A and B are shown apart, each in its own frame.
Chain A
Amino acid sequence: MNFTDVLSNAFRGAFGPEAAIYALAAVGLNLHFGFTGLLNFGHVGFMLVGAYGVAVSVSTWGLSLWVGLLVGIACSIVLALILGIPTLRLRGDYLAIATIAGAEVLRYFYRSDWAAPLTGGVYGLRQFANEFFALNPYSSDLALGPLYFSARNLWVMTAGWALVILASLLVYLLIRSPWGRVLRAIREDELAARSLGKNVYAYKMQSLVLGGVIGGIAGALIAIATQSVNPDNFNPAVTFYLWAIMILGGASTILGPIIGSMIFWFLATFLDSFLRNATASGVIPPDLLSGPDVGALRFVFVGLCLLLLMIYRPAGILGDPKELRLDVR
């Protein structure tokens, strides 16, 4: 049983590329749900089109990675419009249905044989982000005591966390403006906003597009970081991890998605590493728990931790519990 290992793994999880990417996607989701009240249960769909925008542009069409990034962003905008135009005039739950279905339809579409010449079907695409890694300014790996990051990961983390900060700053500026005030008013009661002369539909659409683009960029970053895309990595569970992250950190706070993502990945890697270590060293008998079950079990524990958090801090780590108490109408 090596606790230094377990802890250093957990910290690597908290600051690593996944944490940055999930934080970025959660910033977009937070703009949807936390600030506008849009029930988006298909955020992974935006990530998928963002990722494939990059992958298809480079691998299939032979375009530059940066053009691919723009294609990914354009795809997220189109997806937001497709999801939003028919549903945003209706009650909130219709968007929830459309997004959850839309994300799954997209996943099946991208993995279908029919789309395989473009998307690589079930095998996906790989090795399309060399342009990104060619720019890597880090020549050697980083070792801070037991903490260790490869030069590659460092570069992804730098880009990832920089984007998280940029996106959060943008959301901060937007939310503190009169535009943000209208969004928050829509979250509280869209009929009231409409009665005061606000074009609610247009604001909801703007929020859906902007949050979707942030999600799309997060998806593109996953594709770039792993140098591969596979449709089945963009399954509905990702959306729900993002929801967990957002609520954990505190929905409708600026730093909530960032803190939430760090805690989420800290817990996930800590439990994974702990269980693996414990089974390997025989602290947990092998006939009780063996290697392959660890991956599943760790999310059981993550769920348990989230449950405890919801009981003791229902508004999230950064949320204002006073706000929650207001919801009794």
Chain B
Amino acid sequence: MSDELINPSLIDAREEIVATEQDSARSEGAKRAAAALAGVAAEPGVAKPDAILVADDVSKSFGGVKAVRVDHLEVQRSTITALIGPNGAGKSTFFNLVSGFDKPDTGTWSFNGTDISGSPAYRIARRGMVRTFQLTKALMRLTTLENVMLGATGQRGERMLNAPLRWVWKGQEKDIEQKADDLIERFRLGHMRDEFAGTMSGGQRKLLEMARAMMVDPTMIMLDEPMAGVNPALVQSLLGHIQQLRDDGMSIVLVEHDMDVIMSISDWIVVFAEGAVIAEGRPDDIRTNEKVIEAYLGKRRALPTSQENEA
């Protein structure tokens, strides 16, 4: 890749688009997040003022390949934090490790100040850290409503001995149904309410998975490629939902490959390569970070300031 490839007029146009996008789309939550992260240096493993997730020395090998080796990573509360990196960089594996779906070789991590390293996945979810999956897991032969209602925690009727005694859980069930209906409306799945989730399109399943995760009342939600296989029109609506969640105070970590999406909604970006965190920072920091460009982005996306950084 030589410098002649960079067409200055293209870069200018791109910069302009990004700038207008950022200004027009800036919500309260985005401003709040930007303010909170204002003094944070853009370097790997940097401490955040109010970290909700802190991971230390987390590593995992598959055979001879070190899939993840994160020395230190903090995720700021009430922000949208994106994990990016080339395929096989360890983002999803890191997701699986901290959410309890896979066991690391070493490492400790804490959520909301509590050490949760080694906790089973269901306990981590109950603590308020809920994840979704790269390959959407719609519960096919359950209706949309049942899918969403399943997410509610502390259901009395979920204990086997209470289950046949309808009167024990009937009242609670009604409240849960009400809450589920609200979420279904919010994610515009009302017309699918009583249909099997298996009849949904890929994009609708993504929405369903998010609605279901919201039902758990999480404080942090981890989205593994929420936009994969979703048509562009629906992407906008999903992005809206994600930003709305952040504005409501939720912390969001997401893995995503679509750079335009990442740059437009993230408050903070963490870059993975070969299992390690190689860079962190605001979208602008990442765009101009030489290491990231080398590893992942390609020079075309970079702003001219990358040359200045080199010195």
**B196–A326 CB distance below 8 A:** yes
Report chain A residues within 8 Å CB of B187.
Answer: none
Minimum CB–CB distance from B240 to chain A (whole Å) comes to 23
Known contacts: A181-B149, A195-B130, A326-B199. The answer to whether A173 contacts B125 by CB under 8 A is no
Given contacts A179-B158, A181-B146, A189-B139, contact A197 B163 (CB under 8 A): no
Q: Tell me, yes or no, whether B69 is within 8 Å of chain A by CB.
A: no
Q: Which residues of A, 185-200, contact B by the 8 Å Cβ criterion? A: 185, 187-189, 191-200
What is the CB-to-nearest-CB distance from B129 to chain A, in angstroms, rounded to a whole number? 10
Interchain CB contact (< 8 A) of A178 among B139, B169, B199, B213? B169
**Residue of B whose beta carbon sits closest to that of A192:** B137
| Residues of chain B with a CB closer than 8 A to A287's CB | none
Question: Count the B residues whose beta carbon is within 8 Å of the partner chain — how many?
Answer: 42
Binary CB contact string for chain B from 201 to 219 against chain A (1 if under 8 A, 0 otherwise) = 0000000000011011000
Cross-chain contact B163 with A180 (CB below 8 angstroms): yes
Q: How far is the CA of A206 from the CA of B164 in the complex (A)?
A: 14
For window 119-165 of B, CB contacts with A under 8 Å fall at 120-123, 125-126, 130-133, 137, 139-142, 146-147, 149-151, 153, 155-160, 162-164
Q: Is the CB of A177 within 8 A of B163?
A: yes
**Highest count of chain A CB atoms <10 Å: which of B157, B163, B198, B215:** B163
CA distance A210 to B196 in the complex (A): 27
Query: Does chain A have a CB within 8 A of B93?
Result: no
Q: Is the CB of B150 within 8 A of A193?
A: yes
A198→B120 CA distance, assembly (Å): 10
**CB within 8 A of A196: which of B123, B156, B216?**
B216
Instruction: Label chain A's interface by main secondary structure.
Output: helix
Nearest Cβ in chain B — how far from A170, in angstroms? 6
A-contact 0/1 string along B10-48, CB 8 Å cutoff: 000000000000000000000000000000000000000
A252 to B163, CA, bound (A): 18
With known contacts A170-B164, A195-B133, A188–B140 Cβ distance under 8 A:
yes
Q: Judging by beta carbons under 8 Å apart, are A173 and B101 in contact? A: no
Residue among B121, B126, B147, B162 with the most chain A CB within 10 A? Answer: B121
CB distance from B96 to the nearest CB of A (A): 10
Q: Which residue of chain A is the closest to B176 with respect to CB atoms?
A: A178
Residue of A at shortest CB range from B135? A329
Interface residues of B in 68-118 (CB under 8 A from A): 99, 101
Measured between C-beta atoms, what is the minimum distance from A169 to chain B in Å?
A: 9
Residues of A within 8 A of B285 (CB): none
Classify chain A: how many residues form its interface, as a range: 20 to 34
B164 engages A177 (CB within 8 Å): yes
C-alpha gap A199/B121 in the complex (Å)? 9
A322 at the binding interface (Cβ < 8 Å): yes
| A195 and B141 within 8 A (CB) | no
Tell me if B164 and A174 are in contact (CB < 8 A).
yes
Hey, what's the 0/1 contact readout for A299-329 against B, CB within 8 Å counting as 1? 0000000000000000000000011001101
Q: How far is the CA of A323 from the CA of B162 in the complex (A)?
A: 28
- A184 in the interface (beta carbon within 8 A): yes
Is A197 in contact with B125, judged by CB distance below 8 angstroms? yes
B200 nearest CB across to chain A (Å): 10
Contact B151 A182 (CB under 8 A): no
For A198, list chain B residues within 8 Å (CB): 122, 150, 158
Q: A99-128, CB under 8 A of B: which get 1 and which 0?
A: 000000000000000000000000000000
Contact A326 B198 (CB under 8 A): yes
Cα-based distance from A194 to B137 in the complex (angstroms): 11
List, in ascending order, chain A residues with CB within 8 A of B122's CB: 194, 197-200
Closest to B132 in A: A195
Q: What chain B residues lie within 8 Å of A187 (beta carbons)?
A: 141
In the complex, A218 Cα to B162 Cα: how many Å?
A: 25
Q: Which are the 3 A-B pairs with shortest beta-carbon distances?
A: A326-B198, A178-B157, A179-B163
| Residues of A near any B CB (own CB < 8 A) | 170, 173-174, 177-182, 184-185, 187-189, 191-200, 206, 210, 252, 322-323, 326-327, 329
Interface residues of B (CB under 8 A from A): 99, 101, 120-123, 125-126, 130-133, 137, 139-142, 146-147, 149-151, 153, 155-160, 162-164, 166, 169, 173, 196, 198-199, 212-213, 215-216
A-B contact pairs, 15 of them (CB 8 A): A170-B164, A177-B162, A177-B164, A178-B173, A179-B158, A181-B158, A188-B139, A189-B137, A191-B101, A195-B130, A196-B150, A197-B130, A198-B122, A252-B141, A323-B141
